[in-house]
Amino acid sequence: MFQQRTQKSGRSVTTWYRSGGLSAVLFAVPLVLIFLYFSWGPIVRGLVLSFQKNNLVQAPEWVGMANFSYVLTDPQLPQAALNTLYFAFLALVFGFPVPLFLAVFISELRRTGWLYNVLSYLPAVVPPVAAILLWKFFYDPSTTGVFNSILGWFGIGPFAWLNSQSLAMPAIVLEATWAGAGATSIIYLAALTGVRTELYEAAELDGSGIWSRVWHVTLPQIRGIILIMMLLQLIGTFQVFTEPFLFTGGGPNNATLSILLLIYRYAFINGDFGAATALSVLLAGVLCVLSVVYHFVTRRWSTT
Amino acid sequence: MTRVSRWGRYGTALGVAGLLLAAAGCAKATDPSSGGAAAAGGEIDEKAPVTITIGDRPTPDKPNDIKAFEQKIKDFTAKYPNITVKSTETKWEAQTFQAQVAGGTLPTVMNISFTEPANMIPNKQLPDITDELKLVDLTKDLNPNVLKIVQDANGRIYGVPIDVFSVGLAYNRALFTQAGLDPDKPPTSWDEVRQYAKQIAEKTGKAGYAQLTTNNTGGWMLTTMTYSMGGTVESQDGKKSTFNDAPTKKALQLLKDMRWTDNSMGSNFLYNQEEIRQDFAAGKIGMVLQAPDAYDMSVKNFGMKPADFGAGALPQDGGPHGTLTGGSLKMISPKATKNEIVAALKWIKFDQFDKYTTEALAVQDAKTTIADKGFVGRPGITPLSQETYDQYNKWREPYVNVPVKQFQGYIDSTTSLKLLPEPSNKGQEVYSLLDPVVQQVLTKKDADIDKLVSDAASKIDARLAR
């Protein structure tokens, strides 16, 4: 078909038409238009907005790079960027291995696997806002708070949790890991079913124990998924908003102010949509670059 | 190769469509300006047919309010047959309001908070209604002190204040009694607050005093405390910060002492408005800076016993300085034409101000409020002249269902304390930069107040100069 198409144009159009090309396009048009309008439209609009001073009531005024220089010189930006990186780092160190471990663990269980599956996935069913309110209750800083009471039995604490500049971020990561692990481990579980059982049998015959089987068979076999999940997690953690917004409002002393929270403040507290979109565009740019770099760095290990 | 060429074709198609879309986006973005220009050019014709949309329609869970609301619209359109009135449930909320302004979905008239005009007037998101106000004869009724909230530097008016309060001290009378304090004598100076807080904490184990700190409320309340100590936050013209001096530092030092020396502020130092009211209603907090409207949420939403709620004056330091005001006003959509503005103001007058001057309406209003489990008689500050307001309250006296006596401290302060408006330039931004200052003082034992304040001042100066 492609060869035909590259030949005479007249003939190729007829062929294209006869083979149902027009109806294919007609089918695709509504989808493409909707996609363009609702998915790409806002992106383009956001890009335009980042170069404007616009209160969305009056005629917008083009201000060139003023919004960008404003957000780049904002003294809150370095702090927000560092906090976001810190969150991403903690989420990677603690949040990344947990679902992987869970998935491997659950897949090893023959009979009760479903039970652990349900238990680990349960947090994903709880709406984030409800979950965060619940955890806020756990993190009550008084000695009668849930976590402080439990730790108190062992003579530890009490901790200020969210009220402490140094503990607030780890506390948020703990909740985020709890909330996100189930959904991620389901994906790993699906990947694990694709690992050929002969490999395990062969390894067992060679006398390898459970840990070396996991290390030498399981992990290499699902590395493609692992790499993709890691990228998704990186992008996700760079856009963390709900947790700091609901847990601490960015405090104490901006210790949990994330970039997205800063964007939110620009737009909905200061009413400065130009600055908000400018920072969004910058963040999107950084994430694009990050994804490309990640792709090239991990190409050697990738399965695709 | 073929694969590439196919993608190439799709790419071109996408690109073209994208360009079209971008063009459409630009065209749309310029729309409002043309509408605005047309509106500005029109002449006022009071008899011309005009349609306005009114926000804040009561929600279906308040059937009596809806009935009264609809009756009012009927009466209004009977009086002004050329005006057609539509209504929506749209109402002001801090978190969504800017999005509504942005989305262009605002009704012609709606209630908004006092915190908004300071940003919206310079942003040109509110229309100048000075001339139209005179036309419908509303200007003379308004309390000039309160009117300042909606005026620009030239005295032009951009909104109609309808409901006013000032910050006072809410206190839990039950905790006062438990701690051996007289619940009818709330503290009036900051020294007393410190002493009382310590006593409450020691006797009851609850937080004696708590402070708002997150979502800009930290800066908001630090500003209030600064005012009460005789300081200011911004210069008159709003170009420079003025809080890098004794009053603000004194306020922060007081918080630091209560937190770290007396340990009388409990253990939670991240509070937004709703959370602090929740803990206050639950009896975990002895005293907190709040306007008297905290009564509604504490009692209605969080089940506080009305008998436990007390409202005192904003504590002062060294002579009466003043207190920060808040409240709500009626805004008119920036997209409204002149005729719509006039019609909207007629509605505002009919809806909000006639009840103050007509006994039957005042009583009717009280009755519907009670039928919907609302509160009648909660003290506040009048948007009108004091005589009108006193007369109005007298008419409604038989229907009062709020323990007004427990607000005595606050009521006394409404005449003795000056009403000070919020920082005029970029108020919310200033607050957001002050939040961490308060948070740090409360969560870091070795916080250096001088350095915190001077750092915040230089950051804020940079913002104000933008």
DSSP-assigned states of every residue in B400-460 = --S-GGGGHHHHHHHHHSPEEPPPSSSHHHHHHHHHHHHHHHHH-TT--HHHHHHHHHHHH
Dihedral (Cα; A85, A89, A94, A98), 10-degree rounding:
90
Confidence bin at B21 (pLDDT 50/70/90): very low
Tokens found for residue A75? 């003294």
C-beta atoms of B439 and A251 within 8 A:
yes
A76 vs B contacts (CB less than 8 Å): 433
Confidence bin at B26 (pLDDT 50/70/90): very low
**What's the rounded mean pLDDT across residues A285-289?**
93
C-beta atoms of A269 and B124 within 8 A:
no
Left (φ > 0), alpha (ψ -120 to 50) or beta: where does A208 sit? beta
pLDDT tens figures, B49-65: 999 999 988 888 778 78
pLDDT tens figures, A260-277: 999 998 888 777 888 999
Asked if residue B102 has pLDDT above 90, the reply is no
Kindly write down the DSSP assignment for every residue of A253-288, as one continuous string.
TTTT--HHHHHHIIIIIS--HHHHHHHHHHHHHHHH
How many Å from the N-terminal Cα to the C-terminal Cα in chain B?
54
Helices (H), A142-196: 146-153, 168-192
Q: Is the model more confident about B279 or about A10?
A: B279
C-beta atoms of A70 and B466 within 8 A:
yes
Chain A contact for B9, CB < 8 A?
no
- Whether A79 and A254 have beta carbons less than 8 Å apart is answered as yes
pLDDT at residue number B39: 41
| B106 to B126, B127, B329: CA distances (angstroms) | 11, 13, 15
A12-21, B402-411, B427-436: which is most confident: B402-411
CA dist., res. B69 & res. B77, Å (int): 12
CA dist., res. B337 & res. B456, Å (int): 42
* C-alpha B296 chain-centroid distance: 15
pLDDT at residue number A8: 55
DSSP secondary structure code for residue B153 in this structure? T
Torsions phi, psi for B19 (to 5 deg): -60, -45
C-beta atoms of A163 and B267 within 8 A:
yes
CA dist., res. B440 & res. B259, Å (int): 11
C-beta atoms of A249 and B215 within 8 A:
yes
pLDDT tens figures, A127-156: 988 999 899 889 988 888 889 889 889 988
pLDDT at residue number A173: 92
Asked if residue B448 has pLDDT above 70, the reply is yes
Which residue do the tokens 């002001």 mark? B92
Give the full edge-to-edge strand order of the sheet including B207-210: B207-210, B285-290, B168-172, B309-312
Dihedral (Cα; B267, A250, B104, A68), 10-degree rounding:
160
Question: How would you class B84 by CB atoms within 10 Å of its CB: exposed for 0-12, middle for 13-18, buried for 19 or more?
Answer: middle
C-beta atoms of B268 and A140 within 8 A:
yes
Helices (H), B127-182: 130-135, 144-147, 173-178
pLDDT at residue number B227: 95
Dihedral (Cα; B77, B78, B82, B88), 10-degree rounding:
10
Nearest to B459 by CA among B433, B435, B432, B440: B433
Chain A contact for B101, CB < 8 A?
yes
Nearest to B430 by CA among B234, B236, B244: B234
For an interface test with A, which of B268, B272, B451 has the most A Cβ atoms less than 10 Å from its Cβ?
B268
CB neighbours of A125 closer than 8 A, spacing ≥ 6? none
- Whether A58 and B32 have beta carbons less than 8 Å apart is answered as yes
pLDDT at residue number A301: 74
How many Å from the N-terminal Cα to the C-terminal Cα in chain A?
27
C-beta atoms of B124 and A160 within 8 A:
no
How far away is chain B from the Cα of A73, in angstroms, using its nearest Cα?
A: 10
CA dist., res. B390 & res. B273, Å (int): 30
How far away is chain A from the Cα of B72, in angstroms, using its nearest Cα?
A: 31
C-beta atoms of B32 and A273 within 8 A:
no
Asked if residue B29 has pLDDT above 50, the reply is no
For an interface test with A, which of B123, B275, B285, B439 has the most A Cβ atoms less than 10 Å from its Cβ?
B439
Evaluate the omega torsion of the peptide bond into residue B334 and state whether it is cis, within 30 degrees of 0.
no
Amino acid of residue A37 = Y
DSSP helix/strand/coil, B105: coil
- Whether B200 and B181 have beta carbons less than 8 Å apart is answered as yes
pLDDT tens figures, B317-363: 987 899 998 788 999 998 889 999 999 999 999 988 888 888 888 99
Q: What's the CA angle centered on A25, arms A19 and A27, to 5 degrees? A: 105
For A213-217, B127-131, B239-243, which range has the lowest pLDDT when averaged over its residues?
Answer: A213-217
Asked if residue B13 has pLDDT above 50, the reply is no
pLDDT at residue number A304: 57
**What's the rounded mean pLDDT across residues B150-171?**
90
pLDDT at residue number B19: 44
pLDDT at residue number B466: 66
CB neighbours of B237 closer than 8 A, spacing ≥ 6? B153, B425
pLDDT tens figures, B197-222: 999 999 999 999 999 998 889 999 99
CA dist., res. A184 & res. A216, Å (int): 22
**What's the rounded mean pLDDT across residues B25-39?**
39
C-beta atoms of B119 and A2 within 8 A:
no
CA dist., res. A245 & res. B373, Å (int): 33
Torsions phi, psi for B290 (to 5 deg): -155, 155
Nearest to B459 by CA among A97, A37, A77, A89: A77
Percent over 70 (pLDDT), chain B: 90
Complex ipTM: 0.72
A57 vs B contacts (CB less than 8 Å): 32, 36, 101, 104, 123-125, 334-335
B125 vs A contacts (CB less than 8 Å): 55, 57-58, 271
Q: Which residues pair with B163 in a beta bridge?
A: B328
Percent over 70 (pLDDT), chain A: 94
CA dist., res. A41 & res. B203, Å (int): 61
CB neighbours of B24 closer than 8 A, spacing ≥ 6? none
C-beta atoms of B32 and A140 within 8 A:
no
pLDDT at residue number B95: 65
**What's the rounded mean pLDDT across residues A236-255?**
88
Q: Is the model more confident about B186 or about A12?
A: B186
Q: What's the CA angle centered on B147, arms B326 and B273, to 5 degrees? A: 10
For A60-64, A73-77, B94-98, which range has the lowest pLDDT when averaged over its residues?
Answer: B94-98
pLDDT tens figures, B257-295: 999 999 999 989 999 888 999 999 999 999 999 999 899
Confidence bin at B47 (pLDDT 50/70/90): confident
Question: For A40, which of B21, B215, B444 is closest by C-beta distance?
Answer: B21
C-beta atoms of A273 and B102 within 8 A:
yes
How far away is chain B from the Cα of A27, in angstroms, using its nearest Cα?
A: 15
- Whether B442 and B259 have beta carbons less than 8 Å apart is answered as yes
Asked if residue B30 has pLDDT above 60, the reply is no
Mean pLDDT of chain B: 85
Chain A contact for B40, CB < 8 A?
no
- Whether A284 and B247 have beta carbons less than 8 Å apart is answered as no
Q: Is the model more confident about B109 or about A96?
A: B109
* C-alpha B303 chain-centroid distance: 23
C-beta atoms of A163 and B268 within 8 A:
yes
A108-122, B58-72, B283-297: which is most confident: B283-297
- Whether B51 and B86 have beta carbons less than 8 Å apart is answered as yes
CB neighbours of A39 closer than 8 A, spacing ≥ 6? none
CA dist., res. A178 & res. A171, Å (int): 11
Chain A contact for B104, CB < 8 A?
yes
C-beta atoms of A163 and B269 within 8 A:
yes
Say how many C-beta atoms besides its own lie within 10 A of residue A153's C-beta: 8
Q: By CA distance, what is B6's nearest residue in A?
A: A2
Confidence bin at B42 (pLDDT 50/70/90): low
CA dist., res. B200 & res. B177, Å (int): 9
C-beta atoms of B33 and A164 within 8 A:
no
A42 vs B contacts (CB less than 8 Å): none
B432 vs A contacts (CB less than 8 Å): 265, 269-270
CB neighbours of B349 closer than 8 A, spacing ≥ 6? B136, B137, B138
| A87 to A81, A172, A234, B214, B436: CA distances (angstroms) | 10, 9, 10, 20, 19
A70 vs B contacts (CB less than 8 Å): 466
Evaluate the omega torsion of the peptide bond into residue B122 and state whether it is cis, within 30 degrees of 0.
no
**What's the rounded mean pLDDT across residues B113-121?**
82
Asked if residue A252 has pLDDT above 90, the reply is no
CB neighbours of A188 closer than 8 A, spacing ≥ 6? A99, A100, A102, A103, A104, A222, A225, A226, A229
Q: Is the model more confident about B319 or about B418?
A: B418
Kindly write down the DSSP assignment for every residue of B1-58, as one continuous string.
-HHHHHHHHHHHHHHHHHHHHHHHHHHHHHHHHHHHHHHHHPPP-TTS-EEEEE--PP
Tokens found for residue B460? 């804020």
Confidence bin at B98 (pLDDT 50/70/90): confident
E strand spans, B206-361: 207-210, 285-290, 309-312, 323-332
Name all contacts of B102-106 with Cβ < 8 Å and 24+ positions apart.
B102/A55, B102/A56, B102/A273, B103/A56, B104/A56, B104/A57, B104/B32, B104/B335, B106/B55, B106/B331, B106/B333, B106/B335
How far away is chain A from the Cα of B79, in angstroms, using its nearest Cα?
A: 32
Amino acid of residue B212 = L
- pTM metric for this prediction: 0.77
Residue numbers of B between 195 and 214 with CB closer than 8 Å to A: 213-214
A3-12, B139-148, B387-396: which is most confident: B387-396
